[in-house]
Structures are given as structure tokens and as C-alpha cells.
Amino acid sequence: MGAFELPEEYEALRTAVRRLAETSIAPHAAAADERSEFPWASFGAWRDSGLVRSIYPADLGGDGGDTLTYAIVVEETARVCGASSLFVLISRFGVSPIVRHGSDELRRRIVPRVASGEWQASYCLSEPHAGSDVASMSTRAVRDGDHYVLNGRKCWITNAGISDVYTVFARTAPDAGTRGISAFVVERDTPGFSIGKLEHKMGMKGSPTGELLFDDCTVPAANLIGEEGQGFAYAMRALDTSRPVVGAQAVGLAQGALDVATRYATERQQFGRPIAEFQGLAFLLADMATRVEAARTLVYRACSMVDSGAPGSSKVSAMAKLFATDVAMEVTTDAVQVLGGAGYTTDFPVERMMRDAKVTQIYEGTNQVQRVVISRRLLEEVR
């Protein structure tokens, strides 16, 4: 086995997900984008295939897949539809703090229903004035007997209005800084909870993004995830795990665009021969393929470090997210160029992939924030 060759079980999983993606998800991708509608048919195929269980713990109704499993599933889905890869990514991310830190009762009440595909989940951290600066969040949760009362607003929430459960971070101690933040499970039918404005976006149009509103929203104290005051630590740990998976999503988008561009270049003829035979195009495709492979290798390394708990995993996770998402933007843009005028139309998926790729440089921490994380970790190691 080569140094970077994956074990057979991962390649078997890739084959299964790719088959599902190409037959049951790709056919709905353009319509979901054009209509800005959640691709329910794609989600139904994902749920009914049983592959949804692959990325959840075995003791909670899943198949026990690790972070690399998670990354491969997201990558192969993103290869045909960025919006569909988000319903794969976000539900697992949404329950991540519950899996790691929730009480046994909370874990068993929530996670198996998400692992079966019966429910979907969202991760709710950002606010209008607390994006990269998470510690400045203003959503409050006040203890009232055996309940907490939440007031405030979250924004940029993936799957808003679709998800059945929301992991919500709120301030329980106003003057305690990052130690004053706690995490809660809010179910969609909770009194005082509602969906606000849904965003009109450049890309990922088949995945709703919107506001959550909390107006004296009362949740049971049993819905507190872990310990009061530990929410910030839980949020950062979840991000360390999710960042390489966002990198995998970016790799999938880039690979999908590369596949289309390569096929087109071998079929499109100018001056009596395929345009792939012109050195300018051939070298461009070579550079695109090299960047995609480099990004994939870094993403997989970050996933393996997260799973093993290796020192430096936070730094490499940020590197994987930074590098892979920049590659996705470059490669999808180059793919549009390879197709020329055709690439600028909706007759081919590369323009959609380019629009979808942009947000990967923004969410789960902007790539400027990733550089902050990387440089801090690097300097800590030197000290």
C-alpha cells in the first residue's frame, strides 16, 4: 500500500456515495439552484440509501464512521451538488457538540433521529454583530427554575427552517467573556422560536440560509449541552473538526469542475482538433489537477490528525480549510475559462460550482481567520 493510499473500506464508501450522487442527486442540482429550493428529492435519496448513518457514532444509531469518512461523503456529494453536500455536512456538524458533550439522555433523544435521516440539524453560532468575533454574541439565556429563557437573534444559519433541531450558543453570564457562553438544543416547535429572514445568495441556492429569532423562547434545562459556561470551548472544538470537512466540500466542488472541464476539452474542437491538444489548455488542466490533488491530500491528513488527536491538529485543520477552499475558487474559475462562453451559461454546471465555491472561503471561519489561527499556533510551537 502506498503512503497515501486509503484502505479499501474508504474507497468502497466513495464508490457507493459517488454512485448515489450521480444517479439520485446530480439530476436535481440545477433545478434546486435555479429555483432556490431545498432539494428534497436528493435528501430523500440520501436518507433512504442508508448512507446517512455512515457518519454518526455506532452507539447512537450510526455506523461509526470517523472524520475521514465524513470528509469523503461530503466530497463526493459536493462533486455533483454543493447545496446537497450542505445537508450532509450541516446535520452532522449541528449535533457534534451534543455527541461530544451532551448528557446521555440528550444524546439518545436527539442524535439517533438525525442519524436515521428522520430529523435534520443546524449549528447556530453567528449573529449580526458576532461573526468572526464570536465572543461578542448578545443572545441571552437566563435560568428560570427548570428552564432557560432565550432572547436574541442568530444569522447565517444553514438549513434555517428545514432543520428539526438547532444547537444554539447563547450567553448565560453577561460579564464572563468566553466563559459566559453556553450551548442549548432548541427544537423547531419550541414556543418563542421562529425563523426570520431567508437570504438571497450568490450560490448554494438549494440550501436555505437565514435568521433565527428567540423571543422569550423557553427550553428545558435538560436541553443544556454539557456544562454552563463551556459553550465557547465546545464551539471551537466543533469548528476544528468541521474545517477539514469544509475543505473536503471544496475539493469536491473543484473535482467536479475539473471533470467537466477535462471532458469538454477533449470533445470541443477548434482549428480541426480538440482544444485539449493546445498546450495552453493542457497546462491549465494540469495545474488544476495538481492543485486539487494537493488540497485533497492536506484535507485527508487533517482528518486523520483530528481522529487520532495528534498535536497540531487545530493548525492543520485550518490549513486544510484555507488551502482547499482557495483551490476550489481558483479551479472552478479556471473551469469556466476552459469552457469559454459555454462555461458562462447555465447549460454547464461549472458556473454554479464557481458560485458555490465562493462561500467555502467564508463560512466556518473566513480564510483570513484561518490565517490568524495558523499563525498563532505556529508561533505557539516556536515559543
Which residues, in sequence order, are CB contacts of 2 under 8 Å at separation 6+?
none
DSSP secondary structure code for residue 271 in this structure = T
Rg (C-alpha) for the chain, rounded Å, is: 21
Q: Which residues pair with 269 in a beta bridge?
A: 274
H/E segment holding residue 97: helix 82-101
Q: What is the DSSP string of 214-231?
A: EEEEEEEGGGEESSTT-H
Cell of 251: 475539493
Distance CA 68, CA 5 (A): 13
CB 76 within 8 A of CB 66: no
Cα–Cα distance list, 277 to 266, 269, 272 (Å): 8, 9, 11
Residue with cell 465557547: 232
b/e for 279-306, b at 16 or more Cβ within 10 A?
eebeebbeebbebbbebbebbbbbbbbb
Give CB contacts under 8 A, 24+ apart, made by 305-308.
306/67, 306/240, 306/241, 306/244, 307/66, 307/67, 307/68
Distance CA 49, CA 148 (A): 38
Distance CA 252, CA 256 (A): 6
Cell of 23: 444517479
Torsions phi, psi of 325, nearest 5? -75, -35
Catalytic residue among 75, 228, 351, 364: 364
CB 348 within 8 A of CB 264: yes
Active-site residue flag, 199: no
Pairing mode of beta strands 121-124, 165-171: parallel
Distance CA 355, CA 350 (A): 9
Q: Which residues pair with 181 in a beta bridge?
A: 171
Q: Which residues are catalytic?
A: 364
